[in-house]
Amino acid sequence: SALLELDEVRKIYTTGSVEVAALAGVDLQVHEGEYVAVIGPSGSGKSTLMNIVGCLDVPTDGTYRLAGEDVSTLDEARLADVRNRLIGFVFQQFNLLPSLSAWRNVELPLVYAGVSRDERRARAVAALERVGLGDRAEHRPSELSGGQQQRVAVARALVTDPAMVLADEPTGNLDSRSTADVLALFDELSAMGRTIVLITHEHEVAERAHRRIVVRDGRVVEGNGGPGNSADS
């Protein structure tokens, strides 16, 4: 069965008496090991979809099942627990703490997970090695290039061994060389079987994924469904 499955997901924002359907009935399945890109024009609902897929918010209507669990109606505390257990986040703005070294940034999700100090350090260093930054563990973010900072963020996303890596415009702040580095890293993670959901408005970035999901006016208009029906036309 699918790792994540959205069924008729709607998200309505109400401002005064005006209702906006940011998501107007989204059906979506992503299977374990898939690498999918979500693309669509500005205002189409990508961020809203990312927030729901990432368990940062819940739908107004419809169901979202993640790893077999219905997460559509969880309260904030339970949602936070699901996020910490199942999802590794990569953001456009890296979101590293400037005063902490690379490995201290990477170990943070393990602090929240209650992992012992020695194991945290070992796993953080191993995650940095996996992204090619084993020799930068003691560097602070300001001592690293943008591409290296984003790779630290990828290491932080991987350190809990999440069911899915969810990346929101991960190359949006990178030059073309660092973009190539980060995309090569995603290719490697994908080749090792990691499930990746990548939100982007850059077509060259989306091209690297195995499947493209096109969102328009709050609906998935292309690329829905599992690997079996991923025809892109």
Q: Which is nearer to ligand ADP, 5 or 168 (CB)?
A: 168
Q: Which residues contact 199 (CB under 8 A, 6 or more apart)?
A: 37, 38, 39, 46, 47, 49, 50, 166, 167, 168, 169
Q: Quick one: which of 29, 44, 195, 200 contacts ligand ADP (CB under 6 A)?
A: 44
> Is 179 exposed, middle or buried (CB count within 10 Å of its CB: 0-12, 13-18, 19+)?
buried
Q: Does 47 bind ligand ADP (CB under 6 A)?
A: yes
Q: Quick one: which of 3, 6, 22, 28 contacts ligand ADP (CB under 6 A)?
A: 22
Q: What one-letter code names the amino acid at 109?
A: P
Q: How many CB atoms lie within 10 A of CB 6?
A: 25
Which residue stretch of 48-56, 96-104, 145-153, 202-210 sits at the interface with ligand ADP (rule: CB under 6 A)? Answer: 48-56
Q: Quick one: which of 4, 30, 34, 40 contacts ligand ADP (CB under 6 A)?
A: 40
CA distance 23 to 45: 6
Task: Write down the least CB distance from residue 105 to ligand ADP, Å.
Answer: 11
Q: Does 196 bind ligand ADP (CB under 6 A)?
A: no
Task: Write down the least CB distance from residue 118 to ligand ADP, Å.
Answer: 25
| DSSP SS3 for 179 | helix
CA distance 79 to 73: 9
Q: Does 56 bind ligand ADP (CB under 6 A)?
A: yes
Task: Write down the least CB distance from residue 213 to ligand ADP, Å.
Answer: 12
Which residues in 67-96 contact ligand ADP (CB under 6 A)? 89, 91-93, 95
Distances (CA, A) of 192 to 143, 151, 157, 227: 30, 17, 15, 17
Task: Write down the least CB distance from residue 214 to ligand ADP, Å.
Answer: 11
Which residue stretch of 35-43, 145-153, 181-189, 222-230 sits at the interface with ligand ADP (rule: CB under 6 A)? Answer: 35-43
Which residues in 108-167 contact ligand ADP (CB under 6 A)? none
Q: How many CB atoms lie within 10 A of CB 202?
A: 13
CA distance 44 to 20: 12
Give the interface with ligand ADP as residue ranges (CB under 6 A).
Answer: 13, 15, 20, 22, 40, 42-48, 51, 56, 89, 91-93, 95, 168-169
